[in-house]
Amino acid sequence: MTPRSIPCSPIEGQKPGTSGLRKKTRVFMQPGYLENFVQSVFNGIGGARGKTFVVGGDGRFFNAQAIQTILKMAAANGVARVIVGKGGLLSTPAASHLIRLNKTDGGLILSASHNPGGIDEDFGIKFNTPNGGPAPEGVTDAIYAETTKLDCYQALDVDDIVLDLIGEVTLGTMKVAIIDPVVDYQALMATLFDFAKIRALFASGFTMKFDAMHAVTGPYAQAVLEGALGAPKGTVINATPLEDFGGGHPDPNPVWAKPLMDLMMSDIAPDFGAASDGDGDRNMVVGRGVYVTPSDSLAVLAANAHLAPGYAAGIAGVARSMPTSGASDRVAKHLGIEAYETPTGWKFFGNLMDAGKVTICGEESAGTGSNHVREKDGLWAVLLWLNILAERKQSVADVMADHWKLFGRDYYSRHDYEAVSKDAADEVMDGIRARMGDLVGQQFATLTVAKSDEFTYLDPVDGSVSSKQGLRIWFEGGARAVLRLSGTGTEGATLRIYLEQYADSHEDHTRDAQDALSNLRDAVVELCELDRIIGRSEPDVMT
């Protein structure tokens, strides 16, 4: 089992973003491509000899083969021990917990999150640091630098090992601990939530459907909801992880989780509905007849977190990504705690959590979490909602009505224009930048611009500066629009436009969201000249 040094060439386009490296699966399957990146990770963190790592993924196509490659490379690079989920499966929050619980030197997580899976779809990989969170820019820059100059990688020339049996095996001199991917995560949840009270809620006849979308959260949800909490069998649907997610799009929103949405809006709706994504870090929450936006969900969780044992002493602060609505800011003010606005990307929350400045964080893209790990956590959000419902003895609709009555409502929607040519997307953004100083006072459709800027973030922990994080435009009357180019796709550019209209606590909170946002939508379409530049004014996906 002598390690081999295998020649390879630097590969362009391997700069990891805030969500790691994502490409089409066939790109990762090219000889040397995955290997180049993994070796660059080991080199970029100062070598791997004697270290311990967590390795796992969401089970999408190529996950199993990629993990075997990573294990052989880890052994050849002198890694002492690897912890891997049975069958190669680990949800992203569970992987973060394992990194922290075992005080490892980090982990390699294989996922393209909510992107579709399959040989012609998407694959991804990222390195999480010893705090359990995504690597900060300094680390990703070092990894990228290695990819541009790497000329060989190290690997053992051995057969694959069996990952379907829990226990410990040896690969070269490296120990491989194959664990049940659910056990440690479930134990953590039991310390945060009142399982007895949630069990009593289900025993009282409370009904629920959890759509695991044929993704990695299925086994976790079955073990926790149907096992530990006593929810009826069948509460978790689409529970078996599949390489192609059953041909679906594992993104928990009203578009891609439409069967669940249709059920929740029907006459036979259960009391509560939820869904999670490919790697288990995102969530959707919906009550009977009422969809809860991720921005509102963050605000409700922050306002009611004290009802769960893990947060009974209160929360230190709340953080949200910049495009997320300001709903959680008003909760923070009410609670007398700090509210932080960060760029999109969970690593920015990690700094705040490590410094003890915030407890709960969230993004408009269906990610919420707390300082129990350093990733967003879909099932955690669902369990906190269940704990709140068990304590308040109200429906989701009643919880939301009470919340809006106290804090007001932020009508909110994200409009995605997908597969836009990069030139056209850049023309939209650059055109607004060029006019930024002249927009104030101008009227578009029926709204007048009150203020505009490009978001720059000064990290209050390490003093780092992140610029060009999105264009913000405020209109008179409490409306705000945000424009960003997404970095999570693998094909073309996605122009994301976020629309937000505030209605204070005395106004009507029952309007349809898209109707309440129609004037703002028309103003932004005109301001951005979407018809002229990209040839369309209607989004591909509206959530």
Alpha-carbon span 66 to 8, nearest angstrom:
17
- The terminus-to-terminus CA distance of the chain in angstroms comes to 52
Q: CB atoms < 10 A from the CB of 417, how many? A: 24
For residue 401, the SS3 value is helix
For residue 334, the SS3 value is helix
Catalytic residue among 113, 328, 413, 452: 113
Q: Which of 59, 72, 101, 65 is nearest to 170 (CA)?
A: 72
Alpha-carbon span 528 to 534, nearest angstrom:
10
Question: What residues contact residue 306 under an 8 Å CB cut-off, 6+ apart?
Answer: 312, 313, 314, 315
Q: How far lies 332's CA from each of 171, 289, 325, 335, 401, in Å?
A: 50, 28, 13, 5, 19
Q: How far lies 116's CA from each of 61, 123, 154, 254, 494, in Å?
A: 10, 9, 31, 16, 15
Q: Which of 493, 476, 475, 543 is nearest to 484 (CA)?
A: 493
Active site residue 113: yes
Question: What residues contact residue 514 under an 8 Å CB cut-off, 6+ apart?
Answer: 413, 521, 542
| Active site residues per annotation | 113
